[in-house]
Amino acid sequence: MESHQFIFRKYVPEDASRCTEITQSTWPVPDWVAVKAEKRMLIQSYVEISVENSNWAEVACESKGGKVIGMLYGEIRPGSKRSFAFTSLLTELSMFSRMMLTGSLKESGNRAMTFLRFILTEIKVALNNPRSDAYVDLFLVDPEYKGKGAGKGLMDRFVKDAIMQGATSISLYTENTGSNWRFYEKYGFKKVNTFKDNGTSFYYNKKVTGMIYHLNLKDTVQKDTFSTQD
């Protein structure tokens, strides 16, 4: 696959608006959570908190015009012994603090229940997350540009930097709400754990399974093409 129609560069704060649009079109906020005017603010908070918690953030742009069409925020902390679930928990806590302060989440009963369920999910993530010294926090490509190589281009750059900095493995958390996990399996990530995602199941009112993926960088050789192990 070629990804020559895209350019990749470091994230800058001016990208926040486009990254919010991309996130909002992928993960729409349900009507019961917030009124229309607040939905964008919620997603923007999530995007900003995620980038603040990461130490590696890049965007993919159209080569003509420079429009941002995807992003990957992650962490590379070679030698780190801590679980990256900590970052995920921090993001959720920051999100809910903002929701409480701004009065988002229409019903206070819903607010408390949503909070508890998301915390339960975070505890499961923490218990099931293998130790790794690199972590993918947020990885999205604009739905209109999916399947054109931008995601692989972003992941290749993250993996390359992780290897160059001496990291030994990458882990990430994802859900079965879409088919994005196929991307990870194609890339060589191995599924190491699954469990019910209580927070997202409640949020979308359907059973959602959480999945933890892991990529051993010692076995990973940077290639121009995906492995054909699937």
Ligand X SMILES: CC(C)(COP(=O)(O)OP(=O)(O)OC[C@H]1O[C@@H](n2cnc3c(N)ncnc32)[C@H](O)[C@@H]1OP(=O)(O)O)[C@@H](O)C(=O)NCCC(=O)NCCS
Could you tell me which stretch among 92-100, 101-109, 147-155, 191-199 binds ligand X (CB under 6 A)? 147-155
Distance CA 182, CA 97 (A): 33
The answer to whether residue 150 forms part of the interface with ligand X (CB under 6 A) is yes
To ligand X, the closest distance from the beta carbon of 136 in angstroms equals 6
Distance CA 189, CA 171 (A): 8
Nearest Cα neighbor of 215 from 172, 185, 170 is 170
What is the pattern of x (binds ligand X, CB under 6 A) and - over residues 183-202?
Answer: x--x----------------
The answer to whether residue 140 forms part of the interface with ligand X (CB under 6 A) is yes
Choose, by CB under 6 A, the member of 39, 146, 157, 196 that binds ligand X: 146
The answer to whether residue 179 forms part of the interface with ligand X (CB under 6 A) is yes
Q: What Cα–Cα distance (Å) separates residue 188 from each residue in 10, 135, 151, 205?
A: 25, 15, 14, 31
Nearer to ligand X among residue 167 and residue 211 (C-beta): 211
Nearer to ligand X among residue 47 and residue 141 (C-beta): 141
Distance CA 190, CA 117 (A): 26
* Closest residue to bound ligand X by CB: 151
Distance CA 230, CA 226 (A): 10
Tell me the Cα Rg of the chain. Answer: 17
Amino acid found at 95: M
Cβ atoms < 10 Å from Cβ of 126? 14
Q: Are 55 and 158 in contact (CB under 8 A)?
A: no
Give every CB contact of residue 182 below 8 A, 6+ residues apart in sequence: none
Could you tell me which stretch among 9-17, 49-57, 115-123, 173-181 binds ligand X (CB under 6 A)? 173-181
**Residues contacting ligand X: total by CB under 6 A:** 21
To ligand X, the closest distance from the beta carbon of 173 in angstroms equals 7
The answer to whether residue 73 forms part of the interface with ligand X (CB under 6 A) is no
To ligand X, the closest distance from the beta carbon of 45 in angstroms equals 17
Distance CA 98, CA 38 (A): 12
Nearer to ligand X among residue 100 and residue 176 (C-beta): 176
In the complex, the residues that contact ligand X under the rule CB under 6 A are 1, 26, 139-141, 146-152, 172, 174, 178-180, 182-183, 186, 226
